[in-house]
Chain A
Amino acid sequence: MIFMRNKIASALVCIYMLVTPCHAEEIDAQKLLEQVDDNLWANTKFITGRLIIDNGRKVRTLVQDSWMEGVDRSYSHYKSPAREKGTKMLKIAGKLWMYTPRTDRKILIAGHLLRQSMMGSDLSYEDMMEDHKLSRSYSATHEGFEELSGTRCAILKLVARDKKTTYQTRKVWISPKRKTVLKEERFAKSGKLLKRIMFKDYEQIGERLFPRTMVFRDMLKENTQTTYKFDVIKFDVEIPKKYFSQSILKR
């Protein structure tokens, strides 16, 4: 019996010995988040991407060209399918306009319309509009480590600084070595998981590591997912001024 007790005690010591090195590897969560942001956000960016929307019954693919400047200006132009071709979206400092050739009008997407699903995807316009660097709108704490498809990730818990932020908490799985996000989860205030985003196929583009694929899932719904694939990514490109002006919103 005494022997048994000793065995348990020594096992506990062993576990303690194994665990302590983790604690020893201190992570500055906030700094790590900033590094991730710096990796993702460039001054200007051009992307040709495919939005693959799977609603459980049907898969639709939208092809778009997007130009982005900083976090608060972007312009997208849809190239296919035929029905969406020529549709344009312009975001300037928290305002979103849409133009469709069929109506030949620009429509303000504001207020409650922002919460609607964008083009039938798992993203809302609001999700797409997100124009804050995570490091700026959330304060991060380190929660531990986890192996994710062969990469050791630090799990950061993000808590919104502003009560008005849509998702009050998030969790991100970050590779501390490469400063890349591999997974992100968005939670309700209560802590219920709402959305999961997987970042895949990281590639070196210039000086940055950028995911070629992002997969969005609405965790409250069944069988739906939206995949964003970036076919062309260019950083620090010159963007014609007219792209960020409302005058672009016409035929």
Chain B
Amino acid sequence: MNWDIANKNFYRQGLRAFLNVLVTALSIIALIFMLSLLNGFQAQATRNLVSTDVGGGHYRVPGLDILTPTEWEDFTMTVPPVLASLPKTDKAEVLVQQGQLYPNRRLFPVQLRGIEMDQSLLSLPLAGLKLYDDKLRDVIPAVVGVKMARKAHLKKGDTVVLKWRDKGGAVDARDVLIVDVGDIINPRVDDGVVWLRLDHLRTMTDRENEVSWVAVREFLGPVQGFEFHGIELLMSDLLALLRQDRINSKILWGILMVLVCTSVFNTQILNIFKRQKEIGTLMALGMAPGRIVRIFTLEGVLAAFWALVLALFLGVPFFIWFQGVGFDVSHLSEASFPIRETIYPDYQPREILVSVLIVFALIIASAWVPVKKIIRLDPTLALRGRAIT
């Protein structure tokens, strides 16, 4: 019975009801979209690290500290069979050694990072290196990142002397050809890093089959002689920053929520105010105030429900579409050939559910709060439209 009346009342409002529902629906969509976009931005930062360096974790030579270049050559080992036999999609062997570059005949200490060419676990702009074979020639092909290129005044096609030590400690030097200035979205593997073919670096340093670490897709249990560094460890700095960013998103979420509530609350108050004659009439006809409150609250629920339906109806196609195109920020790159960098919203079901539930609850609450005074309403005043001022 209550439901019927509420239903009738709601639809009778026509345009007003529709506008309310529309605004609420759009608010919900915007809320979810914004949160997801922020999540996506954060996920992108994580993904950049994962896709260029971390993978699903590293099996590292124990004691290796990437921040202490002087020790890199002391911490290399032969790849154990269990890791070597992984498919190319699931692991990337990496060898890191110290080198000295001489751009413009000035010393520039660098990190030489050799990576397997046929791996597909990490995505790096190293296509230029793939054009060469595994045989080391007089000129070694190398790729540097945009940041590194800028710092060392290098550009595509430059040749520059590189000096390094082999395993025994003998000095070696050759010319290096910069085959590409790549867009390496992770500054950690751009700044001061010269990318080489793993087979080249191994030949250069006389370290057949040796690695500093093997990046893997997932933890495979303990591997003899190696120590596993998980994502949490390898990205601890970023994760700490993101944790802080979470607080920021919460504040944003809060601000957005206030806006949504304002909208709902405002329309509802206006509604009650304008409909007090109706309320007065219902009371005069003998309807219990409690029932009136229920009817009006039900109307709110109905509004919330339709808002959800509409949000679903409008939002889902939009989200699907946006997930397809993403948010392209490639134009902000400086690389000689920028890799496409697109931020995709990251929809987190839990967060969405919680947000929607809160919006739902708020709508019901804001439908209920203004009408609850009806109980104490004087029907005669209400009839004359003077009860609520």
Contacts and interface: CB of A to CB of B under 8 A. Distances in A.
A220 B105 CA distance: 6
A90 B84 CA distance: 47
Interface in A92-133: 111-112
B163 A220 contact: yes
A11 interface: no
A153 B175 CA distance: 30
A194 interface: yes
A192 B161 contact: yes
A160 B138 CA distance: 21
A190 B105 contact: no
A194 B70 contact: no
A87 interface: no
Contacts of B173: 188, 190, 192, 194, 220
Contact of A111 (B70, B105, B163, B166): B70
A163 B171 contact: no
B172 interface: yes
Given A111-B70, A190-B138, A221 B106 contact: yes
A188 B102 contact: no
Given A112-B70, A190-B138, A220 B172 contact: no
Nearest to B107: A221
Contacts of B104: 222
Greatest chain A CB density within 10 A among B105, B169, B170, B171 is at B171
Interface stretch (A21-29, A31-39, A41-49, A164-172): A164-172
Nearest to A160: B170
B168 interface: yes
Nearest to A116: B70
B207 interface: no
B171 A221 contact: no
A221 B105 contact: yes
A189 interface: yes
Contact of A168 (B105, B107, B170): B170
B217 interface: no
A20 B173 CA distance: 36
Contacts, number: 54
Nearest to A111: B70
Interface range, A side? 10 to 19
B107 A164 contact: no
Given A164-B168, A164-B169, A221 B174 contact: no
A192 B168 CA distance: 18
Given A163-B168, A164-B168, A164-B169, A188 B163 contact: yes
A190 B170 contact: no
B169 A190 contact: no
Contacts of A165: 168, 170
B170 A194 contact: no
Nearest to A224: B105
A167 B163 contact: no
Interface string B97-129: 000001011110000000000000000000000
Contacts of A111: 70
Contacts of B163: 188, 194, 220
Given A112-B70, A190-B138, A166 B171 contact: yes
B105 A188 contact: no
A77 to B, nearest CB: 29
Contacts of B107: 220-221
A194 B70 CA distance: 21
Contacts of A163: 168, 170, 206
A165 to B, nearest CB: 6
Contact of B105 (A189, A194, A222): A222
A188 B173 CA distance: 5
A194 B165 CA distance: 13
Contacts of A112: 70-71
A192 B171 CA distance: 10
A53 to B, nearest CB: 15
Nearest to B102: A220
Contacts of B169: 164, 166
Contact of A189 (B70, B102, B138, B172): B172
Contacts of B106: 221-222
Interface in B149-177: 161, 163, 166, 168-174
A91 B247 CA distance: 59
B174 A192 contact: yes
B161 A189 contact: no
A188 B171 contact: yes
Interface in B164-207: 166, 168-174, 206
Interface string A144-180: 0000000000000000101111111000000000000
Nearest to B138: A190
A164 B107 CA distance: 24
A164 B161 CA distance: 22
A33 to B, nearest CB: 20
Given A162-B168, A192-B172, 20 more contacts: A112-B71, A163-B168, A164-B169, A165-B168, A166-B171, A167-B170, A168-B170, A168-B171, A168-B172, A188-B172, A189-B170, A189-B172, A190-B174, A192-B161, A192-B173, A192-B174, A194-B171, A220-B163, A221-B106, A222-B106
10 cross-chain pairs, A with B, having the tightest CB-CB distances, nearest first: A188-B173, A112-B70, A222-B105, A164-B168, A189-B172, A192-B173, A163-B168, A188-B172, A220-B102, A190-B174
21 contacts: A163-B206, A165-B168, A166-B171, A167-B170, A167-B171, A168-B170, A168-B171, A168-B172, A188-B173, A189-B166, A189-B171, A189-B172, A190-B172, A190-B173, A190-B174, A194-B163, A220-B102, A220-B107, A220-B173, A221-B107, A222-B106
